[in-house]
Structure formats: C-alpha cells, structure tokens
Structure 1
C-alpha cells in the first residue's frame, strides 16, 4: 500500500501541474503558482498529525512519508519544467542548504553527546531556572544545537522523579533551542548567513541584546513561578529518584571541548577566508571555504567518536534516532520548500506580492513591525535561514546600509527569524531533536498543535511586547 501511494499520488499530481505551471514568457521563480506549496503543506501536516493519530505507523515509516511528499513535488515539477531544472534545483538545495545544515547538526549532536554531566542534579525550581539560564547563555557560544544537546539530558535526569516535567522541556525549547542563539552568528543559521552577507560579528550582540534580555528575563521569571507551582502541587513523597547520588556533580568527556571549539573555528574560518575558488556541481557553485568547513566539521565529529568512551555515551542514553529522524524529515522539508522559497524570492513579481506589500508603506519605507512578524511567522513554519535571506534581500540586501541606516529593520528581521523559531516544533532543528530525546526518556510531550498552544499563549504576548518596545507600529 505504501509503495502504491509513493508511485500513484505523485503521478496524479502531474495533472494539476498544468494549472500550476508558469505562464509563457515568465521566469520560473516569478510565476510559480501557490499550488506548488501543497506538498510542503502536506509535509508539515504529516509531522503535525501522524504522531497524534497514527503514532505506530509514523514511528516506523516517517522516512517513507517524507519521501512521498518530496516525490509529490519533484515528479510534477520535472514533468512540467523538465528533468534538468528539477535536478538542478534539488542539487542546489542539497549542496548549499541541506548538506551543510545536517553536517553541522550531526557534528554538534555527536560531540555534545560525548560530554556527560555526572552526579545527581535535583530539579528544584531554582536549579531548573539556573540550568535554563546557563543554556540560554551558551546557545550564542556553541549554537542552539550544541547547547541543546549538551544540557537536555542533564535537565531530564534532574527532573526524572518529578510528576510534572513537560513544562521544563517546553521552556528549554523556547530559551536554549531558540532565543538564546540570537547574540552571535554562531548561535543560529540565519545570523550566520547574515554574517556571510557582511553583517558584523557582534552587530546582533548590540542590536538584539536588549530584546533578548527582555525575553530571557520574562521567560525565566514565568518559568520559575510555574515550576514552583508545579513543584508544590506534586507534594510529598515524590516518585523514587532513578538517578543515584553516587558521584559528585561534574563533567567528563572533556576531550570533546576542544572539538566543539574546533567546530566554532571552522565556521568562523568559512566566513573570513575568501580564496575566490569555487566548483561547478551541476550548475551550482560550491565555494572552497565551505567545502573545507564541512570537511573539518565532519572530521571533528569522527574524532569525537574515536576518543569518547562508550560508557560516556551510554551514560547520556545516546542513540542515533534523533539525528536520523531530523535528517529524514528535513530532507523532505528542504525538498518541498524549494517552490515556496522561490515564490517568496520573486517578491512583488510573484504570488507572494500581497505578503510583500505588507512590509512596506505606500512610500516604500520599511514597516519594522511587519518585518518582525512576517519574518518570524514564516520562520516558524519554513526553514528560518532562507526566510531570513528573503526578507534581508527584500529590505535592500546591502549589509552596510542595513546596519547603519536601517538598524531597526535588520534587527526586526534578525529577531523575527531567531525568536519565532520557537513557535513550532519545525521552526528550528534543535526543537525536533529535543522533542525526540524527551519522548525517548518518557516525557509526555505535547502534540504538534498542543505545543503551538503553549508557544502561542506564552510567546505571542511577549513578542507583542517587543513590538511595542523596540519596533515601530
């Protein structure tokens, strides 16, 4: 049945491709119909609904579901525009977006999985708040993925005797997996892309620092009050603590620390070293510095596998399922998102023209509040890195102009892309990895829509406050 669907449905979608095709004489990226976004919508709905309605099927076949939706886009696209264009666009997305993305996640997942916090941290409200604050600070130093993978397991162990622990993971995603990565290009992929475009390294530290501080203080305060209420609600006695108090609190696997530093150095190198050498791979220009960066990062990951003892990884309950799930699902997302990004990049010349008109006033001046919300809301459901680039280019694409003459607009774009990645599980890759690890440890995490209720109730009012404080209405 699954094989039949993989073949038949993409073939049937060729029939709507004629209606969704580009009018004669119009560039492909300027004329794509919104119908081309249906496979992407199907991919997101599958991630949202299958774990809720058919969890066993999803657990065993999520890779096939991702392949199915990728074919639902690629087969009609190739039939309409030719195999050459379809292959070029797929290779372009793979080489410049998906492969560097998954290489970095794989390395951070592997290396941070070799660092083990030992000893029994007891998850009191004060301790949990301190862990979240530490992760928030680390996220801009070792990235949201590195900080998330380093601290999610200690947080889960600290609360493994708590009856109510879902909220700790939800706030962890808010703070460590997203908002904390807003201060440097190392923190989150959109800011790294801005760095490559010419935005100064510490620009976001200065111009997103106040917004990040407001969000972090507010969320840590809300969490402390909520966790205190939950802690008291549990009463005594609590469940037996499965983590014994047999060792002093500390960290082992420290050989992985220089490897994490090496990943950071490789990322910095690719932004500063410009040899001017590139290679043409089926029409896609791949720059030498990016190949060297990805090669170094992969090598560091494999060094981690060699130098880290199996006992440390067992102590972390380390397994490959979270990164495997992210790799397969994001392969489907990066494939089906191709036409969606193309429509957005077409700006006023494409189907997204009404959306573009929302971010500028009649005189053509940018509306910062709309840049913040449009970049943010789209980043919550699309990949936030290309979404950042779309609005960066829409605002002029000149880093020097944006940093000096349009400071609040660039801050709105940057903040929207990073902060609002916390709105859904698919808004940022660490969200999904934290979800998978928490579920594997028995935490009854909210469904896709259940998580949106959490994020909507807590984050949307705070984002509205940021709009009032920092961005002009």
Structure 2
C-alpha cells in the first residue's frame, strides 16, 4: 500500500494547486482551441478498446494508472494554457455536477441488485430464456440497466450452465437488458440520467420513446428465440446440470427490493422538488434536491451492505471489482471529455464544425436521422453517457427547448445513445460487467471484434429499419 503514497501525494498536490481559483474561474473561448485538445479523450477510449486485447495482463493491473495518465495529459496542459482558475472550475464541474451523481446512482443500483439472490435452478430453454430477457427489459427502466443486468445475469447463467452453447445468450442479454430495455426512464440508462440532471423531465422519455423501444425489443426477442432454438435443437444430449435441483425457489436479500423503491423515490424527488436553496462549493452551485438525493443514495448503499445476509452476496459471487473498474474509467472519461464538449459547443466556429454540419441541414435545421446515427455510432465506442452530453450540447443544451420544439432531436439523441450503446463492449458500463461475470462463470464470450460481428449482423439492420420508421421526415 505504501508504494501508492507518492502517486497519491502528487495527485493531491496538483488538485490543491487548482482549488484556490475555483470561485474566480473564467470561461474559456472554445473557438480558439485546437482539436488537439481532444487527444487525451481519444487516447483513453482507444486504450479501453485495444489494451485489453493487445496487453491484457498490463491493462488488468494498470488500467487505473493509464486512466490517470490520460486525465493528467489533459489537465496539466489545460492549467498551463488557460490558468489554474479555469482548469479548477472545469474539474469541479465535471466531478461534482456530473461524475459524482452519476457514479453514486450506478453504485447504489449495483450494490442493491447484487444483494438480491434468486434461489432455485431454472432449466434454460428458448422459451425460458426469452421470458427472462423480457423480464429484464421491463425491469431495466425501473432499476437501471446495471441493476437489471446484475439481478438477472447470474440466474440466467445458472439456467444455462449445462449448455455447450451459451455465449449467444449473454450477447443478446447485453443487447436487450443491458441497453435497449433502459430507454424509458432516467433510472434506466446512464445517458438519460445525465439528461435528467441537465433538466429533462423524469417522465419525458416514458412519453416519447415507447414506440421505438417496443419495436427494438419485439424484434430482438423474436430473433433471440430463433437463434436460441437453433442452438438448443443441436444439444440433444446435454451434460449433467451442475446446479442442484434440491434448492427451492425463493429470494434471499429481499430487503433490497424495498431499497430499490427508495432509489426510485430519491431520483423522482430530486426531479420534482423545486427549491431555490443551494450551496456554493468551489464556485459551483449545488441544489438541495441533488444533495438530498445523493446523500440518500449513499445511505441506501450503507443499508444494503448492513442488512443483506452475507450468504446472499456470497451465492451471487458479489465483488466490487466491476464497479471499481467502471468508476475509475468513468472518472477519466468525464475529465478528458471536458474540451470535447467545449469544442462541440463552439459549433460552426470551432474545429469540430464538420460534425455540426453533419447533423445540420442547409437551412440550419437539425437533421433528426443524422442525430440518431451520429450519437449512436459514437456511443458504440465513446461510451454512451458522455456521448449523450456531447450531442445534447450540440443541439443547444437547453432542456426546455429540446423537450418541446426540438423534441424529435432529443428522441433521436436518446434512442441513439441508449440503443447503440450495445454495439460494442465499451458502449455502456453494464456490457463489460456482464462479460466479466459470464467469463468468470466459464462462458467463453466473444472478443471485442467477435462481439461487434454479432452487433453488426443483428443490430445495424434493425437500426436501419428504426430510422425509416421514426426518424425520416
């Protein structure tokens, strides 16, 4: 542990250099910035995509250092070029206004869902597996794609633990439960929660996205049933089931079901509670509803850990590894994306003008279909939560305007960010969690490009149909 102290002291000293000027931070003119400021963000995302393939052992042991290195590759030059005031203000906003609320909610859902053990041994069949997928999709918008994935991935693995072909089950599980199912509420998927933090009404997606979500879920569930039936028909002589049938069906850690309702209530409260009470911290105004929500979620985490029987988490093989990895990677992403957001916000006056032109018609009107594809394809590789923010700001960043006059644009951004987060393992946080848990249970999951072969064959044609049905005017 002592070998980490010099690094921690260095990072702490750098942070202290930024703190004094936070309250007096001045805005930076993004139109004068070069596109080179986006290199740390691109470098971090390329590291996430390629290092696990090319240098798996190095990445497993040092991904935190790689992430911190890319974050400092942005912060140090930014502070030197624009001053500690501007760098400190950007750091405070990214961490306090965006990252911490996001990661606290994700941790709460991960912790609570990981304390619910569904006892009993189901026998995987196309009908049962499809039913579990549907249940997970319905739960995803209520308890988050992370919560639903963590709740059902282990029972689904146990149900299919005697089948020689199970990787496709996990792939479709990522498509359906870890992504598409979370499109209807801010609880469902991280990008929608970030939109909620930016002022989008809690119920807005539940009103505007059901047709798009229903189309995707119906198509994916039908395709999965056909694929699973094909593999199941080739498995006449299944090996002995390693999970005993003597275990009766039931739920352990049921107190976490109540805590899930508390999580939903806290998020709803923070959106519906209107008050002018706010607190200044490092020059940033933090509203009382946000502080109550985040404090309540931290309390939920503590209660879940204290009240859940140890056996429930042990039988779920619950560990903090996936959550620690996601939290560290997202810290770097939320920091290095700061200049990317600023450059896109500069619009036609910034170096990313071609991106702006791509989603803007000749008369200056937004091209809805291009917002869907641009937000979606970038979400496939840049992680869908920060990508949502990029296009939310590119469309003006005014939640009231986007919910009303520009509602088709916000629908396209929301659908693209949520649905196409399934295109790669790095598109959404639960994707990597499900992959890690499945591999830990002995399932040979496809590699990065093998998974993308599945998504290209299954998802891209559906996205094309979705475009023709909903986004072409």
The answer to whether TM tops 0.5 is yes
Q: Any stretches of 5+ residues in structure 2 without a counterpart?
A: 8-26
Gap change, CA 1:107 and 1:399, over 3 Å in 2: closer
2:248 is matched with 248
The CA RMSD over aligned residues, in Å, is: 2.4
TM-score under structure 1 normalisation? 0.90
1:127 is matched with 128
The residue matched to 2:365 in structure 1 has which SS?
coil
- The answer on whether the counterparts of 2:28 and 2:82 sit within 8 Å (CA) in structure 1 is no
- The answer on whether the counterparts of 1:47 and 1:448 sit within 8 Å (CA) in structure 2 is no
1:155 is matched with 156
1:113 is matched with 114
1:35 is matched with 36
The residue matched to 2:324 in structure 1 has which SS?
helix
- The answer on whether the counterparts of 2:141 and 2:183 sit within 8 Å (CA) in structure 1 is yes
Which segment is superposed worse, 408-417 or 150-159? 408-417
- The answer on whether the counterparts of 1:380 and 1:427 sit within 8 Å (CA) in structure 2 is yes
Gap change, CA 1:448 and 1:37, over 3 Å in 2: farther
Aligned length: 453
Gap change, CA 1:198 and 1:294, over 3 Å in 2: closer
1:367 is matched with 367
The residue matched to 2:279 in structure 1 has which SS?
strand
Q: Work out the CA distance in 2 between the residues paired with 1:279 and 1:425.
A: 38
| Shift, 1:97, TM fit | 1.5
1:53 is matched with 54
Q: Work out the CA distance in 1 between the residues paired with 2:206 and 2:54.
A: 43
The answer to whether residue 457 in structure 2 is matched with residue 444 in structure 1 is: no
2:320 is matched with 320
| Shift, 1:196, TM fit | 4.9
Gap change, CA 1:200 and 1:102, over 3 Å in 2: closer
1:221 is matched with 222
Which segment is superposed worse, 453-462 or 108-117? 453-462
| Shift, 1:435, TM fit | 2.1
Q: Any stretches of 5+ residues in structure 1 without a counterpart?
A: 7-25
The answer to whether residue 265 in structure 2 is matched with residue 268 in structure 1 is: no
- The answer on whether the counterparts of 1:189 and 1:385 sit within 8 Å (CA) in structure 2 is yes
Q: Work out the CA distance in 2 between the residues paired with 1:98 and 1:161.
A: 41
Gap change, CA 1:27 and 1:78, over 3 Å in 2: closer
The answer to whether residue 339 in structure 2 is matched with residue 339 in structure 1 is: yes
2:187 is matched with 186
2:142 is matched with 141
- The answer on whether the counterparts of 1:185 and 1:195 sit within 8 Å (CA) in structure 2 is yes
The residue matched to 1:152 in structure 2 has which SS?
helix
The residue matched to 2:425 in structure 1 has which SS?
coil
- The answer on whether the counterparts of 2:202 and 2:271 sit within 8 Å (CA) in structure 1 is no
1:310 is matched with 310
- The answer on whether the counterparts of 1:51 and 1:447 sit within 8 Å (CA) in structure 2 is no
Q: Work out the CA distance in 1 between the residues paired with 2:101 and 2:193.
A: 12
